[in-house]
Amino acid sequence: MKKEGSAGKIKILFKDKRFRVAALVLIVGILVNQVTSWYIKSKYTSLPILNDIITDNIPYLNLVWLYDLLSLLSLISFIVYAYKKDFEKAPFFLMLFGISQLVRGIFIGLTPFGSPKLDSGLFKGSMFREGIYPSGHTGFSFLAFLLSEGKMKVLFLILTILIVATLLIARGHYSIDIFSAIIFNYAIYEFGNRCFKNFRIKR
């Protein structure tokens, strides 16, 4: 694809049918997350707190702000990476992140249980705070790692490791939420490569 200015790239995106479909899937996935989270918050006044073999045996530090910040860094970094380095795959990226959001939105509502520690971070008051399994923080950064290449792949791997570590230390998630997010998103990545590998911008 030849080089385009910002306005030109945006125009190309919205002209592309695959991009529009993928964007719709992402929007639906986010809405499902929000609706399920709202349902959990309105339905249950309290949720059971579970034991965890890892978090029960490591020290606690209030690092909620840090894993939120690392997640924002992952999001911004991936947007920049996709825009500058892999623009043609934008529909593919959106589709996979949309499926990831959709899957999470379904699973957090199936078996609601309480957060191991209720500290407020950068997203205080957000409906994304409701629902634990699987971890959205871990899922996004790990999927970004799988989808990126070169030095950015190393960056997203480091961010994923840091997010996992801070989530455990800050009790942001149970270990099962974190490791299931890795498994889920790897499965989504493999599924996407088989079913949506042609979701690219074509001119």
User: Quick one: average pLDDT of 6-16?
Assistant: 78
CA 184 – CA 193 distance, rounded (Å):
14
The residue type found at 157 is L
Give the model confidence (pLDDT) of 59-94 as tens digits: 988 888 898 899 999 999 999 999 888 888 999 999
CA distance 13 to 173: 36
Contact 78, 148 (CB under 8 A): yes
pLDDT score of 122: 47
Eight-class DSSP state of 134 = S
159: its two tokens: 């961010």
Give the confidence band of 5 by pLDDT, cuts at 50, 70, 90: low
Task: Please give the model's pTM, rounded to 2 decimal places.
Answer: 0.86
Q: d(Cα 32, Cα 105) in Å, to the nearest integer?
A: 5
**pLDDT confidence tier of residue 125, bands split at 50, 70 and 90:** very low
CA-to-CA dists, residue 4 to 1, 99, 201, angstroms: 9, 29, 13
CA distance 172 to 136: 11
- Sequence-separated (6 or more) residues with CB below 8 Å from residue 104: 29, 33, 131, 134, 136, 139, 181, 184
Comparing CA positions, the residue from 71, 73, 76, 101 lying closest to residue 166 is 71
pLDDT tens, residue by residue, 140-155: 999 999 999 999 999 9
Domain boundaries, the chain: 6-195
pLDDT for residue 28 is more than 90: yes
Helices and strands (DSSP H and E) totals, the chain: 7, 0
Lowest mean pLDDT, pick from 15-19, 81-85, 149-153, 199-203: 199-203
